[in-house]
Amino acid sequence: MAENQESKTPEMQTAPAAARRPSRMAIGANVVVASVLMAGLVVAANFIAWWATKEFRLTRDMTRQGLHSFSSRTTKVLDKIDAPVRITSLYYAAEKDEEAALRKRRVEDLLELYETRGRDVAIEAVDPIDDYAKLTEMGTRITRLHADETAPYADVVKRYLGLNPSLLALMESEKTLFGQVAQDPQVTGDLREFVGLVAQKLGEQHEGLKSIADAMRADVGRWIGEADASAPTDDSQWRDMGIPRYSEATAQIGEVVNGVSMLLGAVAQGAVQQTQVAGVQLPDAARQAFDGIDARYQDILRQLTDLAASLNDLKPLALDDFRGRIRPNSLVIEAAGKARVVEFDDVWPVVRSEDQPMMDAEEQRSFSGEDAVTSALIRLTSRVKTAAVFVIHGSAPISDYRAPYSEFASRLTRNGFEIVNWDIASGQEPPDLESYDRRVFVLMPPEQQQPPMMGMPQPPPARPEEYEPLRKYIERGEAVMAFARVSPDDNPMMPAGGIPYLGLLRAYGVTVRTNVTAAMTHPTERPDGKPAAIPILMTTNYPSATNLEAESPIVAPLQGLLSYWVGPAVVERDSQGEPPAGLRIVPLVEVPDDGKSWGESDLMMLNNGIGQYDSGGSDVAAPFAVALAAERPFADAAAASTADTAASSASGRIGRLVVLGTDMMAMDRFMKPQLALTGNGLQWLDFPGNGELLVNAMLWLGGQEDMIAVSSQAMQYSRIGDLGGGTGTLVRWLLWGALPLAVVLVGIAVYSVRVRAK
Amino acid sequence: MSKIMAVMNRELRAYFYSPVGYIVIAVFLVLGGIFFGLMDFDANRPAEMRNVMFWLAGVLVFLIPVITMRLVSEEMSRGTIESLMTAPVTDAQVILGKFFSAVAFFLILLAPTLSYAVVLAVFAEPDWGPIAAGYLGLVLIGVLFLSIGLLASCCTRSQIVSAFVPFVFLGIMTFLCRFLTFHLDGLPRDLLRYVGFLTRYENFGKGVVSLNDVVFFLSLTVLALFLSVKILESRKWRGIRG
Amino acid sequence: MIEVQDLTKYYGSRLAVDGVSFQVDEGEIVGLLGPNGAGKTTLIRMLTCFMPATSGRATVNGFDVFSQSLQVRQSVGYMPESVPLYEDMRVEEYLRFRGEIKGLGGDALRRRMGDAIERCQLSDRRRQIIATLSKGYRQRVGLAESLLGDPKVLILDEPTIGLDPGQIREARRLIQHLGERHTVLLSSHILHEVEQVCSRIVMISGGKLVADGPLSELRTGIGGQGTTLLEAAGDDAEGLKRAIGGLHGVKSVSAEKAEGDYTAFRIESQGEADVRQAVGELAVRRGWRVRELHTQRPTLEEFFIRKTAEQNLRGRAN
């Protein structure tokens, strides 16, 4: 206060202060006004800040990976995109539908982030029910994107419409002709009936052809330069969005072609019959009409036949599929000359409910919009076509939903891989392998042989020779991911087991000990006093199990992400022979030397729940790897496809290999959250580390290290690693006990020092 | 400025000359430790401090009034206000000095919680961005609470009242606003989300810092300080006739 | 140094200070005297800018207390009634803090602190926590504090209240000492104290100024300043009475019969005149046997009581 009042000093001194002193009311009013002004200022400041934040996007996401804006995967994708991207939201919320409104807002918030973060991303929210103009605009753009695909259709329609006038003319003239014949008094009986019928049919056909052409012009006309302004536009059907129904048009053309051909054929045939029946008594009028009927029809019929041939050549239109999938509550993404629809179920997948894991009436959906949109962006903008070639042996295709690895396949699809199945048992190579820019061969263990059963036919066991066709790919440096599994050769339950393709891995100086499984002592005491042992159950955190020095890009981002390894085989360097020059091997997952783990070679013992490390035998001492990555140059660069610049160099192509000691971790039941009966009752088991490890490894193999990241769905945060035993408890006690206690002690110390001092 | 520093220095010392300061810090740390230990610090949990920070902001609702209640009320009840206000310091200097001392005490109170971040760094690779943003948010919300507590302390000589009033007010602005946002819709909901202290604060906890939120907390702090000065000042003109 | 004009203060509808005007000149030690509740503290609080006057005007050291509050506070050392101190601080810490908010720092602060501590004899209590100090020492801390800024004007509100007699004596000495360097306005409800320390007295009662003037003036102002009593035995009491009445400086004489054959004369003198010697000589010359001869000086106490009584009477009349 002093300041304000000090400023009045000069005048106060010149006159009696008492006289000049402002009244209480005056000062009070002053203060009230000042306070109100101040409050107004605060409101104004907030409004400006709100506006500026919105306008200039003055929001900073401080998370390392941009979590609350984006996962690292999305940011990487967005950074790579250099083409304009357009995302249209068709989310719709009816009045009072709060749930839908929330979803709409959530989705649109997300899109706003894309707009902010992306270099050239435009977003638009379009009301899918009412905004027909916008929908049509979008439909038009999308149709343009499909111009190549629709060109043959357009051509057919155009040709048909070109033919139409002459078709109509023919119908018209024939109808008139036959009408006149029917009027002739000499034409009687059957003949008259026939001629009358023909005239009628031709007339009908004429009308039909006219309306069909009109409709066609109205629909696809503007796409083929045949717009008919007079045709009524049908905007009640929002689904069309101005996307022409080419396939419907061509279907109709097919019908017309058939109908007209049949009609004309029938007329011609009828005329011949009538001529034969009537013979010389055929009235002149009829004779004149019937004569030269073939000549009159010939030209049209030929053209119709040509049209029919073109129709048969048409391939199904993706545009049709596209139109069918654009529905309210979907997203349409246009980029790089392509478009994709992200459907509602992709953005809002139905999820388990933690609280009610059992069957539940209410369906719960989680938001995975970022994953869905980013996956779509990857697939739209990825210029490198990478094939994930699953090498299987007589089993179902990998993406078959019944197959045990379908989730793996679908994860790869979402990351821009194209899935190719190579059933190596067929003895044939898959077509078009060379059409991909890159290939990663994924070697899946052949299906386990069942014990021989009466009457059950045994599929032939996989033999190593069958995998020989792979060798040439491997030797020219194509990337390989190989799954192994424990399958001892001498196990009577699994005759002719073993993994037939492991020999191929020697090219990388890597081998798998399929008869040794990672095992650990189990804390429970066996009744017979022998030490209990079980195959190792590594619900592991990568930091404790990986060779951190390796700094592998595959596992580095996965820190602390839970993964599941059960009884993996030991993967190791091949001790036989010289390792290939330039070989670099990085363990990805290691069984640590924790004093209770080892590689057990006596699987029978382990199956019985006993076993212990036998240093003399073929047991393997920890630490050892259960998954590793290897890299080596291959000299034969010329043979390799050089389209892939990332992995090729002057000295030759760098080949990459990832070997995993178990295929179980790639199975759906460990890739997806599963409800499982555990010792603690029904529980959701979720091992996001599995999927992330595999996808990262595939990206690395495909030379797309820069795309390695953690997807937003699997992992949003760096996680706390294994706390091991009492460490966590100790730390907790330190934090909530020792720290406050220290403060109190400091307080007591200060107090006593102060009091004692004189 | 030096007078502000002098007032701040004395007030800050006062916190540590009385057991209240240590008790407040100890309570804060016990609760913080429990929140952190139970909600954030566990194997396979994300290495973050979002939960502990969220709940500590809640703790501040009742802890900050304890920090601020004595600031002016005690001077009034002990009569020291008389020697303070007859010294050549302006009311603004007194308010700012007291405010900064409370801020400094609050920062000291907060400092040991950095040990949580250290623990996270030992056991994981925490993302420092959201932790830093969270601290920024915690400081901003704390500073706002402090200014509101100070305002209340200027209004009454009773420390009980000057602790209870801001406690109720802050409780409404934080918990009730947040609670209501779940049960309302439309404009009221948006409005509550906009003015609710905790809903604003949550953005920081997530690691998102926006100018909007920073200005919100700072401007309200300035307003509360302004009103505090005006109320302290009013002593000097309320007695005038007319 | 201090000018008070028509200063009035209402607490709500209660009139606490009623149109008081007075003036304190440089170097004076002025006592503001009045019974409890007379408005002394209110008046002082207005002078030290702690609260505003309802109306009227006051300047301290030439600065208006309302509009130039900061300059006023800068030039006044003020010790409030009952000396409120931050109990949790050490003496030294407290003084340093107060010095700092008075704008002192560095060497100047150290020097002033040393000076104030020395003058108030606090050297042996520097590091003691104020809460543990005795009342007397707290008073000294308050005084030391008010001296820190080396103010032109010292305003002390009831500086001796609650002290034991020894402490009071000491405080009195200290204040007298202060008068050498500062203009001092101190308030008290104990006349005795003011009488011994102050050169001038401003007396208020019931919010009104009842007297203002130097001690001597006030004394003179109390009519019949001296009463001399003579008890003697002899003849012709009337004659003696007349003779005394004729002495210089004697205003009036009355005689009364005392016990035995003594007569008691009551001699009222004017002003400062001392009539004892003349009266004694006269009596002896006339052959009277003098038993007692003394002068009663009227005390401020009497004046004070009278004035307050007047005030009360007036108040009742109103």
Interchain CB distance below 8 Å, B214 and A98: no
Q: Give the pLDDT of residue A353.
A: 42
Question: Taking CB atoms and an 8 Å cutoff, what residues of chain B touch C9?
Answer: 239
pLDDT at C183 over 50: yes
The whole-number pLDDT of residue B240 equals: 66
Task: Give the pLDDT confidence of A348-375 residue by residue, as tens digits.
Answer: 766 544 444 444 444 556 677 777 788 7
pLDDT digits (tens, 9 = 90+) for A588-615: 888 877 777 888 887 777 777 777 777 7
Cα A309 from Cα A311, distance rounded (Å):
5
Residue from the list B44, B208, B230 with its beta carbon closest to the beta carbon of A562: B44
Residue B130, preceding peptide bond in cis (omega within 30° of 0) = no
Cβ of residue C121 closer than 8 Å to a chain B Cβ: no
Chain C touched by B234 (CB under 8 Å):
no
Confidence of residue B205 (pLDDT cuts 50, 70, 90): confident
What residues in A contact C68, CB-CB < 8 Å? 6, 9, 12
Unique residue bearing structure tokens 């103010």:
C151
Domain membership of residue B241 (yes or no) is no
C10, B79: Cβ pair inside 8 Å? Answer: no
3-state helix, strand, coil in chain B (%, to 5): 80, 0, 15
Residue B218 maps to a domain? yes
Which residues, numbered 76 to 95 in chain C, qualify as contacts with chain B under a Cβ-Cβ cut-off of 8 Å?
76, 78, 80, 82, 84-89, 93
Q: What residues of chain C lie within 8 A of the CB of B14, using their CB?
A: 86, 88-89
Give the total number of structural domains in chain B.
Answer: 1
Does B160 score more than 90 pLDDT? yes
Distance (Å, rounded) from C-alpha A516 to C-alpha C62? Answer: 102
Domain boundaries along the sequence of chain A: 144-322, 384-451+459-673+683-714
What does pTM read for this prediction?
Answer: 0.59
| Cross-chain Cβ contact C9/B6 below 8 Å | no
Tell me how close the Cα of C86 comes to any Cα of chain B, in angstroms.
7
Q: What percent of chain B has pLDDT over 90?
A: 48
Chain A interface, best mutation among C64, C69, C134, by max A CB count within 10 A: C64
Tell me whether strands A331-335 and A338-342 are parallel, antiparallel or unpaired. Answer: antiparallel
**10 Å Cβ neighbour count for A289?**
25
- The reply to whether residue A18 touches residue C56, judged by beta carbons under 8 angstroms, is yes
Considering only CB atoms, A21 lies closest to which of C6, C66, C68, namely C66
| Chain C residues close to A17, C-beta within 8 Å | 57, 64, 66-67
Compare CB distances from C84 to B18, B80, B240 and report the shortest one's residue.
B80
- The reply to whether B209 touches chain A by the CB within 8 Å rule is yes
Residue B145 has pLDDT above 90, yes or no: yes
Residue A716: the pLDDT is 44
Residue B48 in any domain: the answer is yes
Task: Name chain C contacts of B81, Cβ cutoff 8 Å.
Answer: 84
Range of the domain at B72: 2-236
> Is C102 in the B-facing interface, judged by CB distances under 8 Å?
yes
Residue listed under structure tokens 């070639």:
A389
Report how far apart, in Å, the C-alpha atoms of B234 and of each of A29, B154, B192, B229 are: 11, 11, 32, 8
For residue B242, being part of any structural domain is answered with no
Reply yes or no on whether the pLDDT at A231 is more than 60.
no
pLDDT digits (tens, 9 = 90+) for A550-562: 457 777 666 556 7
CA–CA gap between residue C9 and residue C65 (Å, rounded): 14
Instruction: Kindly state the tokens that stand for C303.
Output: 């004046």
Which of A719, A722, A748 is closest, CB to CB, to B47?
Answer: A719
Region A560-575 average pLDDT = 80
Residue A2 with chain C: CB contacts under 8 Å: 69-70
- Residue C154 bridge partners (DSSP): C77, C184
Question: In this complex, which of B2, B9, B83 lies closest to C80 when CB atoms are compared?
Answer: B83
DSSP letter assigned to residue A567: S
Per-range mean pLDDT, top range of A506-520, B144-158, C227-241: B144-158
Residue A680 pLDDT: 60
C interface residues, A as partner, C-beta within 8 Å: 5-6, 55-57, 64, 66-70, 90, 127-129
Q: Across chain A, what does the average pLDDT equal?
A: 75
Interface predicted TM-score of the whole assembly (ipTM), two decimals: 0.88
| Residue found by looking up tokens 């000069």 in the block | A10
Rg of the Cα atoms in chain B: 19
Cβ neighbours of A741 in B, within 8 Å: 26
Contacts of A692 (CB under 8 A, 6+ apart): A557, A558, A561, A710, A711, A714, A715
Q: Is pLDDT above 90 for B101?
A: yes
pLDDT band at A14 (very low <50, low <70, confident <90, very high): very low
Distance from CA of B32 to the nearest CA of A (A): 7
Whether B79 and chain C come into contact, CB under 8 Å, resolves to: yes
Q: Is A510 helix (H, G, I), strand (E, B) or coil?
A: strand
How confident is the prediction for chain C on average, in pLDDT? Answer: 83
**What pLDDT was estimated at residue B151?**
95
Contact B43 A720 (CB under 8 A): yes
Which of C52, C71, C97 faces B236 most closely, judged by CB atoms?
Answer: C52
Within 8 A by CB and 6+ apart from A98, the residues are: B185
Determine the Cα–Cα distance for residues B61 and B67; give it in Å rounded to an integer: 11
Q: What is the mean pLDDT of residues A285-303?
A: 82
Residues of C in contact with A1 (CB under 8 A): 69
Those residues whose C-beta lies under 8 Å from the C-beta of residue C101, and which sit 6 or more positions away, are B3, B6, B7, B84, B87, B88, B89
Distance separating alpha carbons of residues B231 and B72, to the nearest angstrom: 11
pLDDT score recorded for residue A725: 61
Q: Report which residue type is found at B124.
A: A
Burial of B91 (0-12, 13-18, 19+ CB in 10 A): buried
Kindly list the residues from chain B whose CB atom is less than 8 angstroms away from the CB atom of residue A689.
Answer: none
Q: Which one of B70, B86, B90 would you mutate to disrupt binding with C, by most C Cβ within 10 Å of its Cβ?
A: B86
CB pairs under 8 A between A and B: 205
Q: Are A449 and A458 in contact (CB under 8 A)?
A: yes
Mutate one of B13, B81, B82, B98 to test the C interface: name it (highest C CB count within 10 A).
B82
Q: Which of A58, A60, A736 sits opposite B33 (nearest CB)?
A: A736
Closest by CA position to A203, among listed A183, A181, A173: A173
Please write the tens of the pLDDT for every residue from A608-617.
777 777 777 7
Q: Flag whether residue B77 sits within 8 Å of chain C, measured between CB atoms.
A: no
Confidence of residue A488 (pLDDT cuts 50, 70, 90): low
The region of weakest confidence among A281-295, A420-434, A669-683, A698-712 is: A669-683
Beta-carbon contacts of C117 under 8 Å, excluding residues fewer than 6 positions away, are: C91, C95, C123, C126, C144
In angstroms, the CA A78 to CA A700 distance is 19
> What is the DSSP code (8-state) at residue A325?
H
Q: Are A475 and A635 in contact (CB under 8 A)?
A: no
- Interface partners of chain A (CB pairs < 8 Å, 3 or more) are B, C
Closest by Cβ to C52, choosing from B85, B87, B237: B237
CB A322 within 8 A of CB A341: yes
Inter-chain residue contact C57 with A12, CB threshold 8 Å = no
**Does the distance separating the beta carbons of C101 and B6 come in below 8 Å?**
yes
Contact criterion met (CB < 8 Å) for B239 and C100: no
Alpha carbon of C81: minimum distance to chain A alpha carbons (Å): 24
Q: Report whether pLDDT(A311) > 50.
A: yes
Nearest alpha carbon to residue A416 among A386, A446, A391: A386
What would the pLDDT profile of C286-303 be if each residue is shown by its tens digit? 888 888 888 776 666 667
What letter represents residue A665's amino acid? M
3 state DSSP class of A667: coil
- Judged against a pLDDT cut of 80, whether residue C143 lies above it is answered with yes
Q: How buried is residue B51: exposed, middle or buried, by Cβ count under 10 Å (0-12/13-18/19+)?
A: middle
Please tell me which residue of chain B has the smallest CA distance to C54.
B240
Distance from CA of A747 to the nearest CA of B (A): 6
Higher-confidence position of A104 and B167: B167
Q: Give A 692-751 residues with CB within 8 A of chain B.
A: 716-723, 728, 731-732, 735-737, 739-741, 743-744, 746-748, 750-751
Whole-Å CA distances, A91 to A102, A328, B63: 10, 6, 45
Q: How would residue A440 be classed by pLDDT, with cut points 50, 70 and 90?
A: very high
CB-based contact, B26 to chain A, within 8 Å: yes
Dump the DSSP string for A153-177.
HHHHHHHHHHHHHHHHHHHHHHHHH
Q: What local confidence, expressed as pLDDT, does residue A613 receive?
A: 78
Asked if A58 is an interface residue toward chain B (Cβ–Cβ < 8 A), one would say yes
Q: Which residues of C touch B10 (CB under 8 A)?
A: 86, 89, 93, 97
Q: What are phi and psi of B240, to 5 degrees?
A: -75, 145
The whole-angstrom separation of Cα B47 and Cα A721 is: 9
Q: Is the pLDDT of residue A330 over 50?
A: yes
pLDDT at residue B230, as a whole number: 93
pLDDT digits (tens, 9 = 90+) for A19-65: 456 677 888 888 899 999 999 999 999 999 988 887 776 777 776 55
The model's confidence at residue C27, banded by pLDDT at 50, 70 and 90, is: confident
Place C163 in a pLDDT band, splitting at 50, 70 and 90. confident
pLDDT tens digits, A242-253: 788 888 888 888
Most confident of the following: A430-434, A458-462, B120-124, B160-164: B160-164
Give the neighbours of chain C: at least 3 Cβ pairs within 8 Å. Answer: A, B
> Which range (B16-20, B118-122, C184-188, C306-310) has the least confidence?
C306-310
Q: By the 8 A CB rule, do C107 and B103 touch?
A: no
Instruction: Pick the closest to residue A70 from B200, B48, B206 (CA basis).
Output: B206
Q: What percent of chain A has pLDDT over 70?
A: 75
User: Residues B163-167: contacts with CB within 8 Å, 24+ apart?
Assistant: B163/B65, B163/B66, B163/B68, B163/B69, B164/B65, B165/B65, B166/B64, B166/B65, B166/B68, B167/B61, B167/B62, B167/B65
**Closest to A416 in 3D by CA, of A440, A437, A385:** A385
Q: Cβ contact (<8 Å) for A6 and C90?
A: no
